[in-house]
Homo-oligomer: A and B are copies of this chain.
């Protein structure tokens, strides 16, 4: 089987940064300890540097899953209503979730997610940070890349080589 992964270039890095920065929601995969099966749910998404931020409810299955096992993956890059959704660029961040400081992140989050003002301060909502160990970028058919977290921070600091 031929290797479908292309060498990472600046165009791929810029696309990945764009997908992370513009994401407002995504699909979060977790490990369900009750069934031993994967689970996936829609979650609200923001970012800080190269990390995705997730605002999640303690009542949700995925929050309970993460308490038992912080390993997770997040799909970003939502297709619009037009065109073939499988040619729309998307990205999977795969890594581990860590607690994040909800109070400190409040202002930035509410600026990009104004509707979550209604529930941001609820005690049963928490913020977590997904620190990606691997990043799978798919720019459309035949355009697959494997990036790492440094590929995102490099662009952040203008060091795009």
Residues of A whose CB lies within 8 Å of any CB of B are 1-2, 4, 24-25, 27-32, 35-44, 58-59, 61, 71-75, 77-81, 84-86, 88, 90, 92, 94-96, 115, 119, 133-134, 136, 138, 141
Task: Say what secondary structure dominates the interface of chain A.
Answer: strand
Copies in the complex: 2
Q: How long is the Cα–Cα vector from A123 to B115 in the complex, in angstroms?
A: 46
Give the distance in Å from the alpha carbon of A144 to the alpha carbon of B16 in the complex: 33
B27 touches A134 (CB 8 A): no
- Cα(A33)–Cα(B80), bound, Å: 32
A38–B42 CB distance below 8 A = no
Q: Which of B59, B73, B95 contacts A4 (CB 8 A)?
A: B59
Pairs A–B under 8 Å by Cβ, sample size 19: A1-B58, A4-B59, A24-B85, A25-B86, A27-B75, A28-B40, A29-B39, A31-B31, A32-B73, A35-B134, A37-B94, A38-B71, A38-B94, A41-B90, A42-B79, A42-B85, A44-B85, A78-B79, A84-B115
Interface pair A133/B35, CB less than 8 Å apart: yes
Quick check: B136 and A61 within 8 Å, CB to CB? yes
Interchain CA distance A31-B73 in the complex, whole Å: 10
